């Protein structure tokens, strides 16, 4: 199946609720943004909810993550937002580590994986003013490892789920050795094949 054939299938499928989850630095946001734009459907982005919450509280993203470890009600509130939006959106891309679990009746659950060293290099290279600043690539690597441990611990404690367990997903793509265009094409073809 070609990329164009896959897009035709995706454009003609309704409802179409695609959840995009995966490893830190795997390309989730890049993929989700591009797909939402091409399909002309909304992208519901958990990371944006969290960054908005951090800004409201005048905190860094890492400070908010630490608060989430201590205050389960905030995590529940953010996850509930995602669940509520999925009730009235029939065609959309839902991006976040817990999206596969909270989106109501997801059509396809996608997981993008990546080698952690490659992920750190990507994030370091692509960092901008929207992300927290780290003085060295090693500091960023440590922060990513802490973030992953925090995710595993919080979601296991709060919901009894492992967001990094790939058996929870319909489509799993390893992005380690793929460029952005290859990730996009390979993923949409796999999604379309599942929908067929």
Q: What is the pLDDT of residue 16?
A: 97
The model's pLDDT over 54-83, given as tens digits with 9 standing for 90+, comes to: 888 888 877 877 777 777 787 788 788 888
Residue 42 sits at φ, ψ, to 5 deg, of: -70, 150
- Residue 188, SS3? helix
pLDDT, mean of residues 169-184: 96
Where in the chain are the domains? 17-176
Give the pLDDT score at 127. Answer: 67
With beta carbons less than 8 A apart as the criterion, state whether 168 and 109 touch.
yes
Q: What's the rounded Cα separation, in Å, for the pair 9 and 3?
A: 10
Q: What are residue 90's phi and psi, to 5 degrees?
A: -90, -25
More reliable by pLDDT, 98 or 71? 98
pLDDT in tens, 139-175: 888 888 888 898 898 889 889 999 999 999 999 999 9
* Kind of pairing between the strands at 91-95 and 108-113: unpaired
Helical spans, DSSP H, in the chain: 3-11, 28-39, 46-56, 61-70, 72-88, 99-102, 116-126, 137-159, 180-195
CA 62 distance to own-chain centroid: 17
Q: Do 91 and 16 form a contact (C-beta atoms < 8 A)? A: yes
Q: Does domain 17-176 have CATH number 3.40.640.10?
A: no
- What per-residue string of b and e applies to 89-118 under the rule 16 or more CB within 10 Å gives b? bebbbbbbbbbbbbbeebbbbbbbbbeeee
- Cα of 37 vs its chain's centroid, Å: 16
How high does pLDDT run on average in the chain?
Answer: 88
């Amino acid at each position: 199946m070609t990329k164009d054939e896959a897009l035709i299938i995706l454009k003609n499928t309704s409802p179409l609720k695609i959840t995009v989850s995966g490893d830190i630095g795997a390309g989730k946001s890049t993929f989700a943004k591009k797909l939402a734009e091409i399909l002309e459907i909304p992208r519901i982005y958990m990371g944006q909810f969290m960054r908005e919450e951090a800004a409201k509280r005048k905190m860094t993203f890492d400070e908010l993550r630490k608060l989430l470890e201590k205050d389960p009600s905030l995590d529940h509130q953010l996850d509930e937002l995602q669940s509520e939006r999925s009730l009235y959106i029939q065609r959309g891309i839902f991006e976040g580590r817990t999206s596969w679990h909270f989106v109501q009746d997801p059509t396809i659950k996608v997981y993008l994986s990546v080698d952690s060293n490659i992920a750190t290099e990507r994030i370091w290279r692509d960092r901008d003013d929207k992300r927290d600043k780290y003085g060295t690539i090693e500091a960023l690597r440590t922060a990513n490892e802490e973030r992953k441990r925090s995710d595993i611990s919080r979601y296991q404690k709060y919901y009894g789920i492992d967001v990094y367990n790939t058996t929870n997903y319909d489509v799993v793509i390893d992005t380690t050795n793929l460029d952005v265009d290859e990730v996009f094409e390979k993923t949409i073809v796999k999604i379309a094949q599942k929908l067929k």
